[in-house]
């Protein structure tokens, strides 16, 4: 199936500093019937056929898209014929950006100084959707990183347990998967007898981006959380932030937190904060209060 995208600038209102824009996204796929076109933007609505029944989905995608477009003051419409493909049209006014040449140049200079943190990294990834897995693999490849894809939590647990220390730098964990979900897989990894079970960084990848979902990810033993579809800038920033954590930096260098280090930090009022036995980071107690916000179930080691 082929996709085609294009953008037109229909009007320019300099008085209000807005452009009138039209976005067109078309494909030559299966298309849809006239009856289904009337309900495609309704929540939990999917076309029923022998083909669509094999494709996993909730029927929320187009409803969410419509809500987002309307929240931005725009409209969305679709033209489609069964067996001929579809064409979606989005109309909206977008504010003309100010001259950001200087700011962008400064940001590019900062990015160059920081370097590409993904270059040379090896990821163990859990992703049950074949298309998403292929896209993630290609995006990481572009950044100079390698990844091994596992289709469910049970497979990624097995792959991790059979790996040698140093085979993987980090785990990217999808949450909603068959056989064993990401939360269960992460807990199993943290409980495993592998030398790096407690220390290998794990980042959750999920469409669930509510605060309670992030808390569930952290409570399961993950280090961070990114929303799907994954944006490489966000993923790179999250990985950079994760690697700046001292515990993770030491893991990547093959070091461990020894007893003397723990004793020295505790003497200075710092404590290792744990959830289900997994060390999340350091917290400091002052006047009987922990100077950090952690999840229910944390304890001081």
**What does the pLDDT read at residue 274?**
47
The Cα–Cα gap between 127 and 130 comes to 7
Residue 137 has pLDDT above 50, yes or no: yes
Residue 297 has pLDDT above 50, yes or no: no
* Cα 229 off chain centre by: 6
Closest to 133 (Cα-Cα) out of 177, 166, 185: 177
- For helices 211-219 and 182-191, angle between their N-to-C axes, nearest 10 degrees: 30
Residue 3 has pLDDT above 70, yes or no: no
Closest to 148 (Cα-Cα) out of 162, 16, 258: 162
Q: How confident is the model at residue 263 (pLDDT cuts 50, 70, 90)?
A: very low
Q: What is the pLDDT of residues 5-32, one digit of tens each?
A: 777 666 655 545 777 888 999 998 888 8
Where is 114: in which H helix or E strand?
helix 101-114
Q: Sheet holding 298-300: strands in order across?
A: 289-290, 278-286, 270-275, 298-300
Q: What percent of the chain has pLDDT over 70?
A: 66
The Cα–Cα gap between 191 and 259 comes to 21
* CA-based torsion, 158, 162, 165, 169: positive or negative: negative
| DSSP bridge pairs for 141 | none
Where is 244: in which H helix or E strand?
helix 232-244
Least confident of 67-81, 163-177, 285-299: 285-299
In the DSSP assignment, the letter for residue 222 is -
Please count the other Cβ atoms lying within 10 Å of the Cβ belonging to residue 95.
Answer: 9
Residue 160 has pLDDT above 90, yes or no: yes
Please count the other Cβ atoms lying within 10 Å of the Cβ belonging to residue 82.
Answer: 15
Q: What is the pLDDT of residues 79-92, one digit of tens each?
A: 998 888 999 999 88
* CA-based torsion, 214, 174, 155, 193: positive or negative: negative
Q: How far is CA 115 from CA 98, 106, 110, 259, in A?
A: 27, 14, 9, 34
């Amino acid at each position: 199936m082929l996709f085609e995208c294009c953008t037109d600038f229909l009007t320019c209102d300099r008085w209000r500093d807005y452009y009138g824009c039209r976005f067109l996204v078309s494909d030559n796929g299966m298309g849809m019937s006239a009856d289904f076109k009337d309900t495609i933007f309704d929540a939990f609505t999917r076309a029923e056929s022998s083909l669509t029944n094999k494709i996993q989905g909730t029927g929320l995608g187009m409803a969410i898209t419509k809500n987002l477009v309307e929240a931005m003051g725009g409209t969305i419409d679709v033209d489609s014929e069964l067996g001929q493909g579809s064409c979606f049209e989005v109309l909206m006014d977008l504010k003309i950006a100010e001259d950001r040449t200087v700011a962008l140049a400064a940001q590019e200079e900062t990015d160059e100084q920081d370097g590409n943190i993904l270059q040379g990294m090896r990821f163990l990834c859990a992703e049950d959707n074949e298309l998403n897995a292929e896209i993630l693999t290609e995006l990481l490849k572009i950044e100079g990183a390698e990844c091994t894809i596992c289709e469910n939590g049970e497979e990624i647990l097995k792959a991790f347990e059979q790996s040698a220390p140093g085979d993987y730098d980090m785990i990217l964990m999808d949450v909603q998967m068959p056989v064993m979900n990401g939360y269960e897989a992460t807990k199993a990894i943290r409980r495993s007898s592998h030398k790096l079970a407690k220390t290998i960084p794990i980042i959750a990848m999920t469409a669930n981006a509510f605060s309670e979902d992030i808390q569930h990810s952290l409570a399961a033993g993950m280090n961070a959380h990114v929303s799907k579809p994954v944006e490489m800038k966000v993923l790179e920033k999250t990985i950079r932030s994760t690697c700046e954590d001292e515990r993770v930096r030491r893991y990547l260098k093959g070091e461990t937190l020894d007893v003397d280090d723990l004793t020295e930090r505790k003497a200075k009022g710092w404590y290792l904060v744990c959830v289900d036995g997994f060390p999340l980071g350091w917290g400091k107690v002052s006047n009987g209060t922990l100077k950090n916000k952690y999840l229910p179930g944390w304890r001081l080691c």
